[in-house]
Structure 1
Amino acid sequence: MSELTHINASGEANMVDVSGKAETVREARAEAVIDMAPETLSLILSGQHHKGDVFATARIAGIQAAKRTWELIPLCHPLMLSKVEVSLIANQETSQVRVESLCKLTGKTGVEMEALTAASVAALTIYDMCKAVQKDIVISSVKLLEKTGGKSGHFKADA
């Protein structure tokens, strides 16, 4: 395992200096899985939810969150994202929604935190919009699926 990059020689938290790094195309995909009652998922999919289009709101929230990750996570760099995509895939058989995010840029630092934040906030938005009809919704399996670019190269989570 490599050294922690956000800790200086004195053991203090610090922001990594990326000024000497080369700009490369960097991309990351992340996911979150949401388990809910079949009735709740049906309400969302039928468009009958009293708060409106749950998936559209979650998608926008995820995109906005990715763009503001540097304000939420200490020591993250503000990034000029060139692409943020949030997909929501409903599975009525398992009564789950899978949120997948994709973040991309050409820059000196990775976009893993932005992708993870997008997926997490989209999932939290679904919970927020549905908590009036079901409070025991479970958000799980928030994880990095894949990342490319940068010095550490390509990473892909085990299937």
Structure 2
Amino acid sequence: MSKLTHLDDKGEARMVDVTDKAVTGREAQAEALVRMKPETLRMILDDEHPKGDVFATARIAGIMAAKKTHELIPLCHALNLTSVKVELSPGNDGASVRVLTRCKLSGQTGVEMEALTAASVAALTIYDMCKAVDKGMVVDAVRLLEKKGGRSGHWRADGE
């Protein structure tokens, strides 16, 4: 048997069978960073962006993305998410936005990909809405911060 769960004995891609796995509470937290000009951040925070409320749009996009992760990532299971939170906060440097996401459910497989997808799409939405005023923005540091539940238990990124 292959050590990679998404490959069968022949090395072919497959969706992991979770039928016999226990239903447990699962949670994952992820983040992304969007670096931008200080003027762009001020425009967002002062609600002066010509396209409207950037944070509200990014928050909704992140939630929607988490719910559609199985449609975007080929071997992900469709999950019955019970909570998706997307928090957006200005960085202390005055030139970035931190996207923090948390996904939860009771189920047979984890929600790491949903949290990562939510963070990525929320960050990309900020980029999309602001690209007309700041083409040099950078979406950076998309990563899993923490996961809880399942057979592998609790994991936290170094420094978190």
Range class of TM-score, shorter chain:
over 0.9
> In the alignment, which residue of structure 1 is the partner of 2:43?
43
> In the alignment, which residue of structure 2 is the partner of 1:104?
104
> In the alignment, which residue of structure 2 is the partner of 1:135?
135
> In the alignment, which residue of structure 2 is the partner of 1:52?
52
Structure 1, 2-11 or 59-68: larger mean CA deviation: 2-11
Cα distance, 1:94 vs structure 2: 4.0
SS at 2:140 equivalent: strand
Same amino acid, percent of matched pairs: 65
SS at 1:100 equivalent: strand
- 8 A Cα contact 1:38 1:92, kept in partner: no
- TM-score for both structures, normalised by structure 1: 0.97
What code does the residue aligned with 2:113 have? Answer: M
SS at 2:60 equivalent: helix
- 1:150 to 2:150 alignment: yes
SS at 1:145 equivalent: strand
- 8 A Cα contact 1:30 1:101, kept in partner: yes
- 8 A Cα contact 1:6 1:15, kept in partner: yes
- 8 A Cα contact 2:35 2:138, kept in partner: yes
* Aligned-residue CA RMSD (Å): 1.0
CA distance in 2: counterparts of 1:74 and 1:137, whole angstroms: 29
What code does the residue aligned with 2:144 have? Answer: L
The aligned runs of 1:6-21 (5 Å cut-off) are 6-21=6-21
Runs (5+) with no aligned partner, structure 2: none
> What number of residue pairs does the alignment pair up?
158
CA distance in 2: counterparts of 1:8 and 1:94, whole angstroms: 48
Cα distance, 1:3 vs structure 2: 2.2
CA distance in 2: counterparts of 1:23 and 1:108, whole angstroms: 5
> In the alignment, which residue of structure 1 is the partner of 2:122?
122
Runs (5+) with no aligned partner, structure 1: none
- 8 A Cα contact 2:88 2:97, kept in partner: yes
Q: Tell me which stretches of 4 or more aligned residues in structure 1 moved more than 6 Å.
A: none
> In the alignment, which residue of structure 2 is the partner of 1:61?
61
Cα distance, 1:100 vs structure 2: 0.4
CA distance in 2: counterparts of 1:54 and 1:76, whole angstroms: 29
